[in-house]
Amino acid sequence: MYIIVVGCGRVGSQLAELLSLDGHDVVIIDKDSRAFRRLGAAFNGVTMEGVGFDEEVLKSAGIEKADALVAVTDLDNTNMMIAEVATKIFNVPKVVARLYNPEREGTYQQLGLDYVCGTILVAEKILERVVGNRIHHLVLRRDIEIIEFELGKEAWGRRVKDIELPGEFKIIGIVRGASDILPSPDEILEENDVLLAAVRRGAFPKIKGFMI
């Protein structure tokens, strides 16, 4: 793949090196040429100094033939602008932006941008180490989250509607073996089911018993 990485900070430089080692054609852009010092000897791609949302810079980097672009500067607004330019002007097939502030997640979603929030990922990893958390927070909004978790014994054999909480906890999908199920209210929950659910933040204590 031909991949452009914008931002040669800690994340961008590591990503560029990994992509390069994996055999991809990589161009990494940064407005400060000194940032390229972070790249190790294993990197065999191309470095380019410039502003990542400048169309001429992106054209020089080969965006018109790019299979993917990743925006990982240290500014959310910049990453958002880069992703919009790559998506809407150059029609890059795969564009991913880094998001620092989870409160701006709604803006990224409204614009239809694919993103990764490092703040959330790091917080989840620490939570797993500290308390053995088995919940995966897939989407976080101000008050509502989409979560994934393995069903606990307390809910085995019960119907979906028996454990849902109106306005607080809604089961939206079940992964059962090789099957993905959009459940009816009368669907019977089984051992080893993995649930996808929407939950309000304040309802977590009420549903904790349904989780492993």
What is the model's pLDDT at position 86? Answer: 94
Q: Are 80 and 107 in contact (CB under 8 A)?
A: yes
Is residue 107 domain-shared with residue 15, that is, in the same domain? yes
**Rounded Cα gap, residues 58 and 30, in angstroms:** 11
Residue 128 counted as domain residue = no
- Residues 8-24, mean pLDDT to the nearest whole number: 87
Q: What CATH number is attached to the domain comprising 195?
A: 3.30.70.1450
Number of domains in the chain: 2
**Rounded Cα gap, residues 155 and 162, in angstroms:** 9
- Residues 92-101, mean pLDDT to the nearest whole number: 87
Residue 127 counted as domain residue = no
Count CB-CB contacts under 10 A for residue 8. Answer: 28
- Residues 168-176, mean pLDDT to the nearest whole number: 94
**Rounded Cα gap, residues 84 and 185, in angstroms:** 40
Is residue 36 domain-shared with residue 79, that is, in the same domain? yes
Asked if the model's pLDDT at residue 68 lies above 90, the reply is yes
Is residue 154 domain-shared with residue 99, that is, in the same domain? no
Residue type, 49: E
Is residue 9 domain-shared with residue 107, that is, in the same domain? yes
What is the model's pLDDT at position 121? Answer: 59
Is residue 169 domain-shared with residue 117, that is, in the same domain? no
Is residue 195 domain-shared with residue 158, that is, in the same domain? yes
**Rounded Cα gap, residues 74 and 96, in angstroms:** 14
Is residue 105 domain-shared with residue 165, that is, in the same domain? no
Is residue 85 domain-shared with residue 43, that is, in the same domain? yes
Q: Which of 126 and 154 is assigned the larger pLDDT?
A: 154
Q: Which of 15 and 140 is assigned the larger pLDDT?
A: 15
Last residue of a domain, one of 70, 98, 121: 121
What is the model's pLDDT at position 85? Answer: 94
Asked if the model's pLDDT at residue 5 lies above 80, the reply is yes
CA–chain centroid gap for 162, Å, is: 32
Confidence of residue 73 (pLDDT cuts 50, 70, 90): very high
Select, from the ranges 13-22, 92-101, 144-153, 183-192, the one with the highest average predicted confidence (pLDDT). Answer: 183-192
Asked if the model's pLDDT at residue 193 lies above 70, the reply is yes
Is residue 111 domain-shared with residue 153, that is, in the same domain? no
169 φψ region: left (φ > 0), alpha (ψ -120 to 50), beta (else)? beta
Burial of 117 (0-12, 13-18, 19+ CB in 10 A): buried
Residue 7 counted as domain residue = yes
For 29-67, the pLDDT digits (tens) are: 999 999 999 897 778 899 999 999 999 999 999 999 999
Last residue of a domain, one of 71, 90, 121: 121
Confidence of residue 127 (pLDDT cuts 50, 70, 90): low
- Residues 178-198, mean pLDDT to the nearest whole number: 93
Backbone φ and ψ for 121, nearest 5 degrees, come out as -60, -45
pTM: predicted TM-score of the whole model, two decimal places? 0.61
Asked if the model's pLDDT at residue 138 lies above 70, the reply is no
Tokens 């919009």 belong to 84
Is residue 116 domain-shared with residue 168, that is, in the same domain? no
* Paired tokens of 89: 């002007």
- Give the range of the structural domain holding residue 142, as residue numbers without chain letter: 134-210
Residue 129 counted as domain residue = no
Q: Are 169 and 207 in contact (CB under 8 A)?
A: yes
Q: Who contacts 196 (Cβ-Cβ below 8 Å, separation ≥6)?
A: 138, 146, 147, 148, 171, 172, 173, 174, 175
Tokens 């810079």 belong to 57
Overall size of the chain counted in residues: 212
Asked if the model's pLDDT at residue 117 lies above 90, the reply is no
**Rounded Cα gap, residues 176 and 191, in angstroms:** 9
What is the model's pLDDT at position 182? Answer: 94
Is residue 18 domain-shared with residue 116, that is, in the same domain? yes
What is the model's pLDDT at position 115? Answer: 75
Last residue of a domain, one of 89, 121, 153: 121
Q: What CATH number is attached to the domain comprising 98?
A: 3.40.50.720
Is residue 65 domain-shared with residue 97, that is, in the same domain? yes
Residue 126 counted as domain residue = no
Residue 91 counted as domain residue = yes
